[in-house]
Structure 1
Amino acid sequence: MTHIAWFLCWSSAVLLVHVFVGYPALVACLARLRPLRIERRAAVPSVTVVIAAHDGAAWVRAKLANLRALDYPQGSIEIVLACDGCTDDTAALARRVVDARLHVLEFAVRRGKAACLNDAVAAARGDVILFTDIRQRLAPSALRELVANLADPSVGVAGGELHMENVRGSFAQGVDTYWRYEKAIRHAESRSGSTIGVSGALYAMRRDLFEPLPAGTVLDDVLVPMRVAARGYRVIVEPRAIAWDQPSRHPQDERRRKIRTLAGNYQLVQQAPWLLMPWSNPLWFRFVSHKVLRLFAPWLIVAFTVGCGLLFNRHPMYASGFLGVVFAAFAVALARLRPTLGRWLPLRIAVAFFYLNLFAAQALVAFARHRRLHLW
């Protein structure tokens, strides 16, 4: 039993440190010591903006107005809006906008985002596809900044940066802090080679590199970049291409979205098992470190706690590890009971970390019980 406890404690501790500290530090060092340059160049290729929407009436007019305000030759832009089984008047509102560049694809039966993206790209005529969601607002220079990176023949996908605005409340601030941590890792991956995913709110790619997505795909913003990287192109992040979004202010608001996204990672491996094969995936180490091991983090925390608990009396180090987890759990509970205390930065981070790992554990259960994920 002692050997099992020792293995649980140390293997889980090593993997947890690698996931949250070691791997981010490694790619940060690579980005600093051996950065790969991008030959950016001002260019204005033809662009098709692709938006897939389900019940987006609340945002469609503002989104189309936002696209018209982009600092890019308007004659070089077309817009394809795919309405997926909308039960509201998304398509009708879009058609009222007088814009010859806008093409509305309306599907009476709801099929999911992936099917809409496939149809929208098939209808596209631009040399570059700009993927964006209907809800987020784009900076005027976002498109120009992205295509400047695609002028480098080694770059296949250029992702934008998602910024949170109106960050109010301790939970939203904690999520924003965690998102900044995530963005720092993506930037380091990008500067040192390729990142393994982009934000679905804003990314651009060469149209001829797009491959139709499997039906029901949840994480197009991971599968598309990984396919492009497998073909020898870089996937980079452009911090000057900005999209703005609103953060979730309460755990229950974040829960459904996060569980679906995290379960999408299991679906991704199921759909594309080559991602787990180092001889097929050139970004295998990054994918496993950044995505796969993150999914197992909650179970590693449990294993670490159990291991330290079984070895509690063997050495003060194990007692400290066990009590550290207990103290962290107490701090999270205290922050939830006393919201004023939750505004303190360490507690904000602890609460966000707790819920994100809780959602990761729930995502595995949700995927195991229902392999066909929700379409949206």
Structure 2
Amino acid sequence: MTHLAWLACWGSALLLVHVFAGYPAIMWLLARVRPRPVAKQAWLPTVSIVIAVHDGERYIRNKLANLQALDYPPELIDIVIACDGCHDHSVATARRSTDPRLTVLDFPNRRGKAACVNDAVRLTRGDVLLMTDIRQRLSPGALKELVANLGDPSVGAVGGELHMENVRTGFAQGVDFYWRYEKLIRQAESSTGSMVGVSGALYAMRRSLFTPLPPGTVLDDVLVPMRVAAQGKRVVFEPRAMAWDEPSQEPEAERRRKIRTLAGNFQLVQLAPWLLVPWRNPLWFRFVSHKLLRLVAPWLIVALTLATGYLFNHHPMYALAFCGLAAAALLVGVARMRPGVGTWLPARIVVAFFYLNLFAAQALLAFARNRRLHLW
């Protein structure tokens, strides 16, 4: 039993270190030792902007105004908004627009984002597809910065940078911290070849590389770039192409969205099992390290806690590790009872880490119970 506890302790610890520190460090070192710069070119291809929306009436007017303000020749742009079973006035609001470049698709029955994107892309005419969500505001130069990366023939897709605004509570500040940490990893991945995912709020790709998404796909912002990489093209990060969003201020508000997104990773493996095959997935190591092992992290934390508890009296190192884990759990509880504590930087980080891993554990159960994750 002691031998198994030792294996569980060290195996879990090493994998957790690799996921949250080792892999980012490897990417960071590679970015400095063997960088792969993008040969950006100033060019102006035709662009089709695709937006899928469900009950987004309150965002549509501002979003269209935001797209009209893009620093890009308007005659080179067309826009398709696909309304997925909207029960509000999304369709009517969009159709009140006088922009001749806009096409509005009305699907009375909800089918999910993937089906709407597939239908919208079929109507587009641009050489480049710009994928964006209805809620986020884009910087005026975002589109021009994205397509400049596509001027490099080796680049097939490029993601923009999502910034958080109105970060008010301790929980939101913790989420913002981890999002900044995630962006550093993506930048390092991009600098050494390709990212394994982009932000669904803002990314562009060559239309010729798009293939219809499997019905019900949740994480198009991971599957699409992985398909692009499988076709021999790079997926890169452009920090000068910016979008702004507001994070959830409390765990309860974040829970549903995050569980659905994390469960989408399990669905992704089900829809595209080739992602698990090293000789078919050119980004296999990155995909496993960045995406899959994070799904295992909550169970590794549980195993580490149980193992160090069992080995508590065998060596002071195990006792120290167990007490550290217990102290972190206690800090989460105190921060929940006393919100003022949650604004302290270590507490913000620990609380956000706890909830992100809690949601990852719940995501597995959500995926097992509900295969209709695509109904956003």
Report the TM-score when normalising by structure 1: 0.99
- Provide the alpha-carbon RMSD of the alignment: 0.6
Aligned match of 1:20: 20
**Mapping for residues 94-173 of structure 1, pairs under 5 Å:** 94-173=94-173
Could you tell me how far 1:110 is from its partner in structure 2?
1.1
Compare 241-250 and 365-374 and name the one that shifted more: 365-374
Once residues 192 and 374 of structure 1 are traced to their aligned partners in structure 2, the CA distance between those partners, rounded to angstroms, is 32
For residues 195-274 of structure 1, the aligned pairs below 5 Å read: 195-274=195-274
Moved over 3 A (4+): none
- Contact 2:228/2:234, CA 8 A, preserved across alignment: yes
Distance 1:111 1:301 in 2: 37
| Inter-partner Cα distance in structure 2 for 1:202 and 1:255 | 23
The separation in 1 between residues aligned to 2:354 and 2:221, in whole angstroms, is: 25
Which residue of 1 is the match for residue 323 of structure 2? Answer: 323
- Once the two structures are superposed, residues 35-78 of structure 1 have per-residue CA deviations (whole angstroms, 9 ceiling, x without a partner) of 10111011110000000001110000000000000000011010
For residue 345 of structure 1, what is the aligned residue in structure 2?
Answer: 345
Residue 59 (str. 1) matches residue 55 (str. 2): no
SS at match of 1:181: helix
In structure 2, the partner of 1:180 is: 180
Q: Distance in 2 between matches of 1:365 and 1:113?
A: 22
Does the CA-based 8 Å contact 2:196-2:225 persist in structure 1?
yes
Q: What is the SS of the residue equivalent to 2:203?
A: strand
Q: Aligned letter for 1:331?
A: L
d(CA) in 2 for partners of 1:110 and 1:336? Answer: 37
Q: AA paired with 2:224?
A: V
Matched residue type, 1:330: L
Deviation at 1:335, TM superposition (A): 1.3
TM-score (norm 2): 0.99
Query: 2:29 matched to 1:32?
Result: no
Q: Give the secondary-structure state (helix, strand or coil) at the position aligned to 2:58.
A: coil
| 3-state SS of paired residue (1:59) | helix
2:313 aligned partner: 313
Are the aligned partners of 2:50 and 2:132 in contact in 1 as well (CA < 8 Å)? yes
Q: Deviations over 1:181-210 (max 9, x none)?
A: 011000000011100000000000000100
Structure 2 unaligned residues grouped into runs of 5+: none
1:374, distance to aligned residue in structure 2 (A): 4.1
CA deviations 1:99-156 (Å, max 9, x no partner) are 1100111111111100000001111000000000000000000000000000000000
Aligned with 1:49: secondary structure? Answer: strand
Shift of 1:375: 1.5
User: Are 1:83 and 2:83 an aligned pair?
Assistant: yes
Deviations 1:334-376 (A, max 9, x none): 1111111111111100000000000000000111122332411
SS of aligned partner of 1:358: helix
Q: Distance in 2 between matches of 1:323 and 1:5?
A: 17
**Alpha-carbon distance in structure 2 between the residues aligned to 1:126 and 1:199:** 21
Amino acid at match of 1:58: R
- The equivalent of 2:356 in structure 1 is 356
Q: Distance in 2 between the 1:129 and 1:239 partners?
A: 18
Q: Distance in 1 between matches of 2:108 and 2:247?
A: 31
Q: What is the rounded CA distance, in whole Å, between the counterparts of 1:245 and 1:308 in structure 2?
A: 40
Q: Residues 192-234 of structure 1, C-alpha deviation per residue, up to 9 Å, x if partnerless?
A: 1100000000000000100100101000000000000001000
Distance in 2, Cα, partners of 1:143 & 1:95: 24
Aligned equivalents of 2:77 and 2:273: distance in 1? 36
- 1:284 maps to 284
Work out the CA distance in 2 between the residues paired with 1:95 and 1:366. Answer: 36
SS in 1 for 2:45: coil
Give the partner amino acid of 2:322: F
Distance 1:56 1:328 in 2: 39
Cα distance in structure 2, aligned partners of 1:339 and 1:55: 33
Counterparts of residues 183-194 of structure 1 (less than 5 Å): 183-194=183-194
Q: Distance in 1 between matches of 2:301 and 2:267?
A: 23
CA distance in 1 between counterparts of 2:4 and 2:75 reads 66
Does the 8 A contact of 2:113 with 2:374 survive in 1? no
Counterpart Cα distance in 1 of 2:288 and 2:267: 15
> Taking structure 1 as reference, are residues 333 and 257 closer, same or farther at Cα in structure 2, changes over 3 Å only?
same
Q: Partner residue of 1:336?
A: 336
Q: What is the SS of the residue equivalent to 2:110?
A: coil
Distance 1:172 1:66 in 2: 25
User: Which whole-Å CA distance do the structure 1 matches of 2:333 and 2:25 have between them?
Assistant: 30
Secondary structure of 1:58's aligned partner: helix
